[in-house]
Chain A
């Protein structure tokens, strides 16, 4: 395994983990742009743009793009989040140059008006699909409640209104400001020839104008409280909470992941024994999530509505228990679980590519999976305790979704 890094003159970053033992390679274009980079009136444009990228370029129609991706087999897809948009494809080594050329070409999409209107319908279908699924838009609502006017409070998908009201001109403006070489990285992992990777990227992207994008990282001012979204036709009650946690460059994030594993992993955690083993909930968990400049810890429960209030209290007790002490045994088990997970993921090419690109997105220094595993090994009980005290999960923003409208915040 060899880590390689290079930057084109226009600022485009090329990263790779070259592995001669692998039998294919995964490639991704990582763009530092997402819903936090949108203004309210263009909510959802990052995600809509991700769809439009597959609609073709000056040299390729949408059909050609789809045909070429399928001709290379493998798997390809894209995803948009709060602060990143990622396009990726995994292919056999014989397709290295071809897939890099295609991904690079896609990053200069035609954004045709006719495609824009058709795809708008698909996006609205996607929004409606999520509205039908638990927790029925609850995640977006909770993010809005918690973050308030902060850009992270905006929905990644946008709403039927914001997406419906978008113009192709607004999308072009957004694209021009965000898809700049200085704001993008092309990442590869697996069996690949790095010199050719760079040469192909240079050929396809070298002429892109030297521009970079800025992101204003506004400090988050989390809001706490309790709200309900009544959903008459649902069977289960969905309870979600957000509380502050470490940001994506904070070393506390390792201790926080260990703490949330101890408290709320979907198996073997304190919450598991309290709610899942006992059959009091269908699912429940606590997990951390990091962004630039801020982080959060999410707790959730899906359960019978009749048990919802008691389960909120049980969750509260589990959260409080973090302050009463954590045992060496719990720490060791959580580390073992996390490290085994890292090992299993490190044997697969696609997760390695995402890991590499993810580190670049967060502005972190490159670390191998083994080095990351070591960081978890080194976390001490005192550090986990300190994180538990610094980030009390009981101080949170709670949303209840379901038939009940009478649930209350635990005192």
Chain B
């Protein structure tokens, strides 16, 4: 097993939770500050508001204008980012450890006292609009996002970029309101990993974000997705295929049974999809499936891209292999999956960046962080019998299918889509 490490978790009175993992053998540290200000809070007619707000917050606050902010972070050697997801807006970075506290102070100053500079509103808006336009050329990305939106519905299937129309019309007052409502310590998560001193970091976070939270934001209304098959016509060389079917939320006690089964289907070069679709038949370059989860629901997404003439066969073989999985996995498949997990855990331990994202993920999905030993035990305790029993009583499907390309595919009656 990897280095023994010390982890910490502390929830402050105002509802902010800080988690941290000490990695004293490193010379670096990484952190993320996740505000409960994701795009799920975008009003339905103002999609893209959370992302645009994030863009404007990062344009300066406190003593820093946008140039001063970037120079200050870069002077610390900080590889920084700000990004908007469905639940959270994240600000963070990785840097030489001696700059960690300074970088967190800089971020806090900017986030707590943002300028929302009117003179830069159009620059910020244009940056957001460019991102939306660029997605138009990203055919795999478009297919995946359509699949996700259809499966999870609104707002949990959203892409935080929003729409050209909505972002074009947003006013700075509306962004400020969004900020006031959602950039609150209640529900905020901070994760730190690498070389640092825990009492110092805990004290620092209390100082920087110890303020009281305003009233809780109300939960957004959830609207159901769309089921069945959808084809997006586009004159591309390849046809992009995305399948979605019900999975499990991360906190579900059976999550790893499903994750293990999907690992057999898709992890590694001996996995069933890679072997049957690519290696044996040469149908495509990329094929795979992965588990995805929002807080209270999960999905499995399958993906491939292949030239138009091979697309039907690719879909058919994918569905056949997914169907065959319900008949069970073998001991050697399970063992390969387990060793891959074990290696992955060990390898993740050398990177403070990887650990920060794992800590934040645990905290969000489970409300606590797991030790390496606990994760390892979860994986090692999987059995063929356990996975096969799960698969027998929870057949994979039904499938929602999205394709993008020249021609729609034939979805025969034998395919258990949700359309019927």
List chain A positions with a Cβ less than 8 A from chain B.
21-24, 54, 62-63, 65-67, 69-76, 90-92, 118-122, 124-126, 128-129, 131-134, 233-236, 267-268, 272-273, 276-283, 302-304, 332-333, 336-337, 339-341, 343-344, 347-349
Shortest A16–chain B CB gap in Å is 17
Instruction: Verify A281–B130 contact, CB threshold 8 A.
Output: yes
Instruction: Verify B269–A54 contact, CB threshold 8 A.
Output: yes
Instruction: Verify B67–A273 contact, CB threshold 8 A.
Output: yes
Our pick among A70, A126, A280 for the contact of B270 (Cβ within 8 Å) is A70
Instruction: Verify A23–B346 contact, CB threshold 8 A.
Output: yes
Instruction: Verify B340–A279 contact, CB threshold 8 A.
Output: no
Instruction: Verify B130–A304 contact, CB threshold 8 A.
Output: yes
Q: Which residues of chain B are within 8 angstroms of A268 by Cβ–Cβ distance?
A: 70-71, 74
Instruction: Across the interface, name the chain B residue whose C-beta is closest to A281.
Output: B130
Q: Which residues of chain B are within 8 angstroms of A344 by Cβ–Cβ distance?
A: 28, 79, 94-95, 353
B214 within 8 A of A: no
Instruction: Verify A66–B96 contact, CB threshold 8 A.
Output: no
B3 within 8 A of A: yes
Instruction: Verify A118–B281 contact, CB threshold 8 A.
Output: yes
Our pick among B127, B133, B353 for the contact of A235 (Cβ within 8 Å) is B133
In the A-B complex, the 5 residue pairs with the smallest Cβ-Cβ separation, listed nearest first, are A279-B126, A340-B77, A73-B343, A121-B282, A73-B339
List chain B positions with a Cβ less than 8 A from chain A.
2-3, 25-28, 66-67, 70-71, 74-80, 94-96, 122-131, 133-134, 136-139, 234-238, 267-271, 274-275, 278-286, 305-307, 310, 335-336, 339-344, 346-347, 349-353
Among A22, A23, A278: residue with most chain B CB under 10 A? A23
Instruction: Verify B336–A128 contact, CB threshold 8 A.
Output: no
Q: Which residues of chain B are within 8 angstroms of A349 by Cβ–Cβ distance?
A: 347, 350
Known contacts A54-B269, A122-B278, A129-B285: does B340 contact A73 (CB below 8 Å)?
yes
Instruction: Verify A340–B347 contact, CB threshold 8 A.
Output: no
Instruction: Verify B74–A73 contact, CB threshold 8 A.
Output: no
Q: Which residues of chain B are within 8 angstroms of A339 by Cβ–Cβ distance?
A: 77
Q: Which residues of chain A are within 8 angstroms of B134 by Cβ–Cβ distance?
A: 235-236, 282-283, 302
Q: Which residues of chain A are within 8 angstroms of B349 by Cβ–Cβ distance?
A: 23
How far is it, in angstroms, between the C-alpha of A383 and the C-alpha of B125 when the chains are bound?
39
Shortest A277–chain B CB gap in Å is 6
Instruction: Verify B283–A125 contact, CB threshold 8 A.
Output: yes
How far is it, in angstroms, between the C-alpha of A134 and the C-alpha of B305 when the chains are bound?
16
Known contacts A54-B269, A343-B28: does B123 contact A66 (CB below 8 Å)?
no
Q: How many A-B residue pairs have CB under 8 A?
A: 185
Interface CB pairs A-B, < 8 A, 25:
A24-B343, A24-B347, A69-B268, A70-B270, A70-B339, A71-B336, A74-B347, A118-B279, A122-B282, A122-B285, A125-B306, A129-B285, A132-B236, A132-B237, A235-B134, A278-B127, A282-B131, A303-B130, A336-B74, A340-B79, A340-B95, A341-B79, A343-B77, A348-B351, A349-B347
Shortest A371–chain B CB gap in Å is 16
Q: Which residues of chain B are within 8 angstroms of A90 by Cβ–Cβ distance?
A: 343, 347
Instruction: Verify B130–A234 contact, CB threshold 8 A.
Output: no
Instruction: Verify B340–A343 contact, CB threshold 8 A.
Output: no
Our pick among A129, A272, A273, A336 for the contact of B305 (Cβ within 8 Å) is A129
Instruction: Verify A236–B310 contact, CB threshold 8 A.
Output: no
Instruction: Verify A125–B285 contact, CB threshold 8 A.
Output: yes
Shortest A265–chain B CB gap in Å is 9
How far is it, in angstroms, between the C-alpha of A288 and the C-alpha of B275 when the chains are bound?
38
Among B122, B310, B340, B350: residue with most chain A CB under 10 A? B350
Shortest A346–chain B CB gap in Å is 9
Instruction: Verify B342–A92 contact, CB threshold 8 A.
Output: yes
How far is it, in angstroms, between the C-alpha of A316 and the C-alpha of B275 when the chains are bound?
49
Shortest B373–chain A CB gap in Å is 15
Our pick among A70, A234, A276, A283 for the contact of B340 (Cβ within 8 Å) is A70
Instruction: Across the interface, name the chain A residue whose C-beta is closest to B139.
Output: A132
How far is it, in angstroms, between the C-alpha of A318 and the C-alpha of B283 when the chains are bound?
45
How far is it, in angstroms, between the C-alpha of A343 and the C-alpha of B353 when the chains are bound?
13
How far is it, in angstroms, between the C-alpha of A69 and the C-alpha of B279 when the chains are bound?
15
Q: Which residues of chain A are within 8 angstroms of B282 by Cβ–Cβ distance?
A: 118-122, 125
Shortest B265–chain A CB gap in Å is 13
Shortest B154–chain A CB gap in Å is 24
Instruction: Verify B74–A333 contact, CB threshold 8 A.
Output: yes
